[in-house]
Structure 1
Amino acid sequence: MPYVTIACQALLAGVFVVAVAGKVRGRAAFGEYVASIAALGFVPWARPVAGALVAAEILVAVSLATPAGLGAALLLLAVLTTGIVLGVRRGRRVPCRCFGAAAAPLGPTHVVRNLVLAGVACAGLAARVLGGSAAAADPAGVAVALAAAAAGVLVVVRLDDLVSLFKAS
C-alpha cells in the first residue's frame, strides 16, 4: 500500500503547487485572487487572508513530502471548502481563482472537488496506517503512482473546463 500513499501525496502536492503558481504568477493574478477573497465577504481582511492561504498552500505542498502532510492537506481543504460553502450560501458569484484566472464562479463543483481531494488525503492516511513505509517501494511502482497522480492533478486543475464540456448549452 505504499503506492497509494505516494500517489495521494503527489496528487495533493501537485494540486497545491499549481494553485500557488496560479495565484502568484504576477501582481495582477494575486490582485485578482485578493479581489475574489474580498468578494466572498472577507473585505477588511482580504489581503492578509489571501496571503495566509497562499502561505498555507506552500507549507502543505512542502509537508506532503512526508506522510504527515496528508493531515495538513486535509485541514487546509476543510478551511478552503468552508470558505467556498459560506460564499455560495451568501449568494456570492465569485470567479474561482483557485488555480489562477478562471471565469467559472465558485459553486457545487468546487465543493465536490475539494471533498474528493479531502477523500484523497484520507485514503493516503488510511493506506499509510494499513500499508507500511515507502522505503520498501519498488521504483516501477513509484513511477506508476506518480503517473497516476500527475493525471489526477491535470483533471483537478482543468475541472472547470471538463465540466463546461458536458454542460448543456
Structure 2
Amino acid sequence: MTHTHFFKTIVGLALLAAGSSFAQMTPVGTWHSIDDKTGEAKAEIQIVDKDGALSGRVVKSLRNDPNAKKTCDDCKDDRKGKDIIGMEIIRGVKPDSSGENLWANGGKILDPENGKEYTVKMVPLEGGKKLQVRGYIGPFYRTQTWLRAQ
C-alpha cells in the first residue's frame, strides 16, 4: 500500500466517523420514551425527517400493563379515537437557527394518554445517546429524557 493510498484511506475513515457521529446528534432515529414521573420506558418512538421537518410515530408499547390505553380518546384533532400504536405524536419539528443543536421552531408533541398537545423542543445529549424532550403549554413545561434504542 502506498503512502498516498494509506493517507486517503485514513482521511476517508475519519470523515466517515465524523459523519456518523454528526448524524447521531439529531433526533432522527428510534427512541425509548421514558416516563418523567415513574422513570419507566413507555414506548418506542421512530423519528424521521420528512422534507426538513421531523415527525415521530409510536411504533410499539414497552409497558407490561394490560390496562394501558390503546386509543387516544382525549385527542382533539384527526387522531381522536385512533390507535396509539402507529400514531404520529411529533409533528413539524425543525432545527433551530441558534446553532445550539436545538430542534423546535413551532413543532408539536402529543401525549396520547391525556390528549394534550405541547409545543416541543428537543436537544440531543451525550453524543446523541439521549434526547431531552421538553413540551410547553404557555410558561409550563414537562421534560423527559429519551434513550436511543440499540
Shorter-chain TM-score: which interval?
0.3 to 0.5
Please, what TM-score do these two structures have when normalized by structure 2?
0.34
Task: Please state which structure has a larger fraction of its residues in helix.
Answer: 1
Task: Please state which structure has a larger fraction of its residues in strand.
Answer: 2
Which structure has the bigger radius of gyration? 2
Higher relative contact order (CA 8 A, sep 6+): 1
Please, what TM-score do these two structures have when normalized by structure 1?
0.31
